Every structure is written in structure tokens, then in C-alpha cells.
Structure 1
Amino acid sequence: MPVNRNALIRYRTIDNCLRNRYKKWTLEDLIDACSDALYEFEGIDKGVSRRSVQADIEMMRSNKLGYEAPIIVVDRKYYTYADKNYSITNSPISQQDMQVLSEVSTLLKQFKGFNHFADLNEMVSKLEDKIYSQRTHCPPVVDFERNDNLKGLDYIEGIRKAIVAKKTLCVTYQSFKAREASTFCFSPYLLKEYRNRWFILGMRHGRGGHLLNLALDRIESIEEHEEMYRENTVIDLATYYNDVIGVTKSPGQRDCEVVFWIDNANAPYIVTKPLHHTQKFLAEENEGKVFSIKVILNYELERELLGFGSKIKVLGPRILVKQLKQNLAKSLERYDHVEKPANEVREEK
């Protein structure tokens, strides 16, 4: 059974709605959501009929597309999934979906040679590999880095839409340091990925209206709010992270030159995969090479440098050298006070 693009958009929209268990969804709510999605993605402004959405729900409940979605009606009014963990995105890819994916892959491949679409290369490779493994029932031939247990990924699309539409979000968030979660209004500006974790940069309402960087895996709930969106007038989003490793940065923070020596055995790793785009080779020195990068000093930079262990020595600036020496001293102190395993203690007794 052929499924057109508009129907796929409606199925995905209904699925996103029913997965959001913080709201009770009536049929009218689902109709509105589908109408908004078709207008956003296809520019269709005539809306969606009641009969179409009812037919979509029945199609999702059936096995014609392989979904067999457990859609139920609560209190004879509200639609939801009987299984809170269900999503059509967890279902096997149907032949119709495969056809759509193949068409998308063919279209994207036409742009792979253009410099301004260089970021598409990895995405196209991922898509082609997924299509290959599904069609041939063979293991993937490309193993991309991923974290299947990462929380918060389901918020990405909603946040992206809020940024585009300039909508305020109501966020319930608990950082690793906080004893309990807090809820506040937030104007989102930019989604940022770093080492398979996702972050959102934006302005927190109240408390002076300062920039805030939130980790998506620490968000407990998020939804649109009617409070007025606060435009970004503080930073250039296109270049904000150019002088930083990671995501930790405050407006007005200034970068500095970080100089480091690394032994000859590990220097090739630094040459082929620079720590930062500002990296420069400075000199050959004492069985190693000296490089520099120009970045803001932050936690992620320290962790990156410490990861090389004894293979690296930071030469400047002094404040960074001092901080790294303190961290290394603490590490040595921990090793000096390692408790013996329980089995060794028993043997001594």
C-alpha cells in the first residue's frame, strides 16, 4: 500500500503527540497538531479533516504498515498509548519507508561535492548504511559512534521547532549539582552537540536574564509557554563556540594561547586530529613536538589535556599549568591511598 509524504508526516506527528504523556490529547488536539505540521513542512494551510486523522489512527493501529500501535481512548475522550514506551519509530522500517529513505538518500548524494554541504557526508553515509542493512538483512558495514542510552534526544525536534518559531519554553531541569529540579521559562537559541551529548543554549527568564547552557539529558520535561520570547541580542550564534573546546563558556570570556609539548609517539595523533581548529605547530623539542591552540580555559579543555596522561606537558599559560598540576597531584594522592580489595584483606587475616 503506497503511503504519501503527507500521511507519513501525520503519522509521525500523532506519534510525537501520544508519546508526550504530560498532555491529554483529544481528537481536536491531534487534528490541530497535524495541521500545524503539514503547514510547517509542506506549506499546506487548508488543515486536516477529522476523517483523515481518524483514518490515520486506524491505520496506525493496524498491521498494514507494521505499526500495530496500541492507541487507546481514556475517559472516552483522550488518546494515548497503552504502552508508554511505544513509538512507531521503534517499529521495523516498512517498504514504503524504505522507498522514501532511498529517494532522500539519492537527493542528498547530489550535494556531497559542494563545500557548503560538507556536513551532509556523514549523514548520507549513515542513511545509506541503514538502507543497505535493512534491505540485505546484513549487519551494518559502518559503525558510527553513538550512545543508545542517552536521555533527552526526543526533545531535539521540539526544541528545534521552538527556536525556528521563536517560542518560549517552560523547562523543568535538574543539574548534577542540584538537590532538586527547578522549573523556569527559557528562550532557546541554539542546539549544540559535543561528544554525543546534546545541549541547548538560550536565555533564562528572570534573575537578570542571563545565558544558560542546558544538557538535554538533565531535562525532566519541556513544553511551550505563552510568555514572550526574548530575542538574542548578546552573542553571534554562528561564531559563539569557535574559541572553545566543549560547551562551557560565558559571554565576554577571552581566549588565550595554550602551548603544549607532546612526545613523538603521540604527535601524529595530534597532527591528524587537531585538538582545535586554531592548532599550530611551533617547534621540535626534546623527543617531542610543541603545539599551540587559542581557546577559552574551561573544564572540557582540562579533561582533554589530562586524557593524554604522561604523554603531554602543558607549557602555558601559568594558570592552566597550575590547575593541571593540582589535578594530577590529587590523582597521585588517590592512588597512594588505594584500599586493598576485600579478597586480599581476607587472605591476610
Structure 2
Amino acid sequence: MSVRNTILRHKLIINKLRHRPLSWPEIDQMLQYESTFIGDDFHTISQRQFQRDIDDIRVLYRISIESDRSKKQYFIQHDTEESERALDAFDIFNLMRLGDNGSKKIVFEQRKPRGTEYLGDIVQAIHNDLVLYFDYRKYYETEVEHRRLFPILLKEVRNRWYVIGQDLDKDSLRIFPLDRILALEVVKAGKFKALKVDPETLFEHSFGIILPHEDQQIEEVILSYSAFQGKYIRSLPLHHTQEILADNEEELRVKLNIYITHDFVMELLSVGAEVSVIAPQSLADRMKEEYLKSLHRQS
């Protein structure tokens, strides 16, 4: 059975079970019905193959399909944001690799990020407590550096991937964009004292990829967006701490609990007059300074 058939079958099973529990006969009937439109032999799979699909779906998409023996039904207990992202990734893979885009009616971003060829090696290193040896060139320098990193996590920000880990030479937490890595090797870790880092909370109150300074505090930020821009902020929140304070014809006012870092300020500046800072005053003053700098550059 082809990879294409398997992926499409997985998607059909997941999408149907997201709506309601189904028995095996109902799942089998559904696959046969869909095969008449797609042209793939879904009806040839057995219940034993379906059990293997359940295992594969758990590994590939982080989605757990459970069974209710009393009702003889299958269902999805928990559906997380992580599983949604995994499905999105597989959808994109299908479009690029399995679909026919000869008509050019599917348009992908032209600025393809570099460094993604290292993702597999870095994931392997994270899961097996291995060390990364790599050549690295900073954006503002031409000299190549040789770095040794004990990787802790991978993070995606605006379609760009970063590896965060313990720099074994500097004995500190460092962040490296993958598109600046020139060569990478995975090796066994020698003896060293690992930093105590919780990957789940490391960026909990950060906006993007920039970590706060050592003495920096989390601040309560209140922003007022125009009613028009507010529609976007409501549908795609800036941060998981976002709380709506007011939502009317004049504004969308939100509150965040966040570290005020450079990338957060740049995000606010990107929408111009569509947002104003209510609090803290230090952020409002910083925004004014940035606007004044921009005006001077234009003169």
C-alpha cells in the first residue's frame, strides 16, 4: 500500500473521529464510501490493519484513539494544539510531495528557510542526550565559529527554526538559528554538569525567540487595537496570556503578562497606528522613541 494511501486514510480516520465516536463497521463503511471519490482501495484494510493505524497515528500525529469496549466504538479523547500542528505539517507535505501543482494554483512562500536539513539530527540528539558539534556564522560577522551544544529544545518562530541548548564552552544557555549553521555533527556527550532547564516553561512569558535578561521581570502590558486590527488579534492572539478587556466598535483592548523584549516591540511597531500602548508607560515611551528614530531616518 502506498504512502499516499496511508496518509490520506489516517487523515480521514482522524477527521471523522474528531466529530463523533464510531464503531469499526462505521469506520469501514466510511472508508469504502470515501474510496469511491478518491479512487484508493481503503476498503481493503482489515480491522487488524486499523489497529496498526491507531498505533501509527499516535506516533506520527500525537493523537490517541481510544476504544469504548461497552459501546464498541472508537473515539479521540484529547486533541491538543501540538497534534493540530502535526496535522498541518502533514497537510503541507501532501501538497508539496503528493499533490499535483502543475497549474501553480497553490502558492508557497518564496523565502524558504535554510537549515531545516538539520532538524532530524537535532531531534535525535535531544531524545538521546547527544551533543551537537557545528560550524556557525553570525549574521553580522564573516568569521566561522566552532560550537559545542547540548540541545534542549527546538523552537519555530515565524517560519524560522532555532535550537536552544547549553553551550559547553561558555557553560550557558544559548540560542542558534538553524539557517546560520554551516555543518553539523552529532556525537556522544562527554562528562559535564547539565544546566537545570525546564523546556515547557522556558519561553512561557516570552513573545518570540528572545529570552529575558537575568534580572528582567514579567510585566502587565495593556494594548488598545483599532476595531479593524482587533479582528486579527482576536482570531490569532499575540500570546497565550492574552485576555480581552474591551471589545467594541472603537477598540479591542487586551492584557498580556509578558517579558518586553526587542521582538515584542518590533511586533507592535509592525502594525503602526493600529495599536497604542496603555501600560506600562516605559513601553509607550520606547515605542515613541522608535517612531522618532524612523522619522529621522526618512529625513
- The normalised TM-score by structure 1 is 0.60
Query: Is residue 2:108 matched to residue 1:155?
Result: no
Amino acid at match of 1:325: K
Query: Is residue 2:9 matched to residue 1:106?
Result: yes
For residues 292 and 179 of structure 2, the distance between their equivalents in structure 1, rounded to whole angstroms, comes to 32
For residues 129 and 213 of structure 2, the distance between their equivalents in structure 1, rounded to whole angstroms, comes to 21
Amino acid at match of 1:129: L
Query: Is residue 2:84 matched to residue 1:121?
Result: no
Q: Residues 127, 226 of structure 1: CA spacing in aligned structure 2 closer, same or farther, 3 A cutoff?
A: closer
Structure 1 residue 294, shift from structure 2 partner: 1.3
Structure 2 counterpart SS, 1:266: helix
Residues 13-47 of structure 1: per-residue CA shift (max 9 Å, x gap) = xxxxxxxxxxxxxxxxxxxxxxxxxxxxxxxxxxx
Structure 1 residue 125, shift from structure 2 partner: 2.7
Structure 1 residue 179, shift from structure 2 partner: 4.4
* Aligned residue among 119, 137, 140 for 1:177: 140
For residues 313 and 155 of structure 1, the distance between their equivalents in structure 2, rounded to whole angstroms, comes to 40
Query: Is residue 2:296 matched to residue 1:333?
Result: yes
For residues 119 and 287 of structure 1, the distance between their equivalents in structure 2, rounded to whole angstroms, comes to 34
Structure 1 residue 245, shift from structure 2 partner: 1.4
Structure 1 residue 283, shift from structure 2 partner: 3.1
Structure 1 residue 140, shift from structure 2 partner: 6.9
Structure possessing the higher relative contact order (Cα contacts under 8 Å, 6 or more residues apart): 2
Query: Is residue 2:99 matched to residue 1:133?
Result: yes
Residues 144-183 of structure 1: per-residue CA shift (max 9 Å, x gap) = x645542211111111111112111112112123341211
Structure 1 residue 335, shift from structure 2 partner: 1.6
Aligned twin of 1:264: 227
Structure 1 residue 197, shift from structure 2 partner: 0.4
Residues 110-135 of structure 1: per-residue CA shift (max 9 Å, x gap) = 3453413333331343244346624x
Aligned twin of 2:162: 199
Residues 51-103 of structure 1: per-residue CA shift (max 9 Å, x gap) = xxxxxxxxxxxxxxxxxxxxxxxxxxxxxxxxxxxxxxxxxxxxx8xx12321
For residues 185 and 322 of structure 1, the distance between their equivalents in structure 2, rounded to whole angstroms, comes to 40
Structure 1 counterpart SS, 2:165: strand
* Aligned residue among 298, 307, 319 for 2:282: 319
Q: Residues 156, 217 of structure 1: CA spacing in aligned structure 2 closer, same or farther, 3 A cutoff?
A: same
Query: Is residue 2:214 matched to residue 1:254?
Result: no
Aligned twin of 1:234: 196
Contact 1:203 1:230 in 2 (8 A): no
Structure 1 residue 218, shift from structure 2 partner: 0.8
Percent sequence identity is: 23
Q: Residues 325, 182 of structure 1: CA spacing in aligned structure 2 closer, same or farther, 3 A cutoff?
A: same
Structure 1 residue 323, shift from structure 2 partner: 1.8
The alignment's C-alpha RMSD in Å is 2.7
Q: Residues 180, 156 of structure 1: CA spacing in aligned structure 2 closer, same or farther, 3 A cutoff?
A: same
Contact 1:129 1:140 in 2 (8 A): no
Aligned twin of 1:244: 206
For residues 226 and 160 of structure 1, the distance between their equivalents in structure 2, rounded to whole angstroms, comes to 14
Query: Is residue 2:278 matched to residue 1:308?
Result: no
Larger radius of gyration: 1
For residues 142 and 266 of structure 1, the distance between their equivalents in structure 2, rounded to whole angstroms, comes to 27
Amino acid at match of 2:262: Y
For residues 148 and 106 of structure 2, the distance between their equivalents in structure 1, rounded to whole angstroms, comes to 41
Amino acid at match of 1:154: E
Q: Residues 211, 303 of structure 1: CA spacing in aligned structure 2 closer, same or farther, 3 A cutoff?
A: same
Structure 1 counterpart SS, 2:228: coil
Kindly tell me the number of residue pairs found equivalent between the two proteins: 235
Structure 1 counterpart SS, 2:285: helix
Residues 238-271 of structure 1: per-residue CA shift (max 9 Å, x gap) = 2322211111104754321111111222221211
Contact 1:189 1:232 in 2 (8 A): no
Q: Residues 326, 254 of structure 1: CA spacing in aligned structure 2 closer, same or farther, 3 A cutoff?
A: same
- The normalised TM-score by structure 2 is 0.70
